[in-house]
Structures are given as C-alpha cells and as structure tokens.
Amino acid sequence: MNVPNLHLSPRARKAQAFSLVEVVLAIGVTSFALLGMVALLPMGLKTSHQAADAMTEAQIVQYARNQLEMTPFTNLSTWVSNPLYFDNQGLPSTATDAQQIYKATFAIGDVQLSTSGSGAGSILGANANAPNAAADATLVQLTIVNRTMAGAAATNVFPIVVPNSGF
C-alpha cells in the first residue's frame, strides 16, 4: 500500500514528475540529434567502399607490375591481348568466374624511356648501352575497370614503367 507524501507541500508534490510538454521537447531534441547522425551513414559507407576499391586496385597494380617485370622485355607486347580478371579481394580469377569484379587491360605506348645520353635530362628512344640494345625501360598503361560501378568512376588508368632487365 502506497501512502502519499503528506508531509510535502502541494507545490513540492506536483514537481515530482515531468510534464507532457517537457517529454515531447526532450524527444524532439533527441530525435533531431539522432537524425543528423543517421544522415551521415550513407556518406561514411560510400567513403568506406571507395577506400576498399582503392586498396584493391593498388594490389592489382602491384600484381601486374610484378608480372610485367618477370616478362622478357621483348615479349611485353603479349600482355596487350591478354586481359586479367580479379575478384573483390584483388586476387586473380578467370574470365568465366562469377566472382570477377575487376578487369585489367594493358597498353604499351610508342614511347620508350632511356636515362642515358648527353645533355641535361633524359632522352627518348633506343639506348645502345642497354641490354638487348633496346631502351632502358618502357611505359605500360594499366587500365582497371570496376564492373560494379558505372560511368567514368569505374575506370582508372595507372602508368607502369617496366625496366629492361636484360632477359
């Protein structure tokens, strides 16, 4: 059995609870603050996806660079007709694999780089002192297409300088 606080004044008994107006205002302020935080979630998710894509593309570039450097310098043109496919982790997959997300294609430019010669800076063209009497290096453009994205944001081009290792 609850006995009301008879020893309190009527004004003190009335001040023990929140009024309806105070409750509604508190809920309004709280919901306004939570709405602002919830509105930031899509931007955070988009940034997270972009960071993951950039990291995966960096792994693909590193893989492609390693493969290009292990290829004999005179056979670099074979990469032009052989695209590579990768999954969402940046691991190689096949063209028929359902997990493939990234497609990497190669283009070898006409420009060959040579850092020897007289004068200030580098010259372009064949270097007689390089192994195989070829240029010191050549520029390969690696184009990575993210198949889960649309538009120009889905394609990134990375330049790779491949040195002439002499084999």
The residues pairing with 142 across neighbouring beta strands, listed in sequence order, are 106, 158
Residue that wins the pLDDT comparison between 24 and 152: 24
Percentage helix, strand, coil, to 5, in the chain?
40, 25, 35
Helix (H, G, I), strand (E, B) or coil at 128: coil
- What's the 3-state SS for 6-49? CCCCHHHHHCCCCCHHHHHHHHHHHHHHHHHHHHCHHHHHHHHH
Q: Give the range with max mean pLDDT: 91-95, 145-149, 155-159.
A: 155-159
Statement: residue 124 has pLDDT above 70: no
Extents of the domains making up the chain: 10-163
Top-confidence residue, 120 or 10: 10
Please tell me which residue, 5 or 147, carries the higher pLDDT value: 147
Instruction: Pick the more confident residue, 99 or 105.
Output: 105
Q: pTM for this structure?
A: 0.68
94 phi and psi angles, rounded to 5 deg:
-100, 165
Closest CA to 127 of 138, 142, 140, 141: 138
Contact 100, 73 (CB under 8 A): no
Between 42 and 124, where is the model more confident?
42
Mean pLDDT, the chain, as a whole number? Answer: 80
Output the pLDDT for position 24.
Answer: 94
Select the highest-mean-pLDDT range: 26-30, 107-111, 159-163.
Answer: 26-30
Confidence of residue 105 (pLDDT cuts 50, 70, 90): very high
d(CA 136, CA 22): 78
More confident residue, 7 or 47: 47
Q: Is the predicted pLDDT of residue 47 greater than 60, yes or no?
A: yes
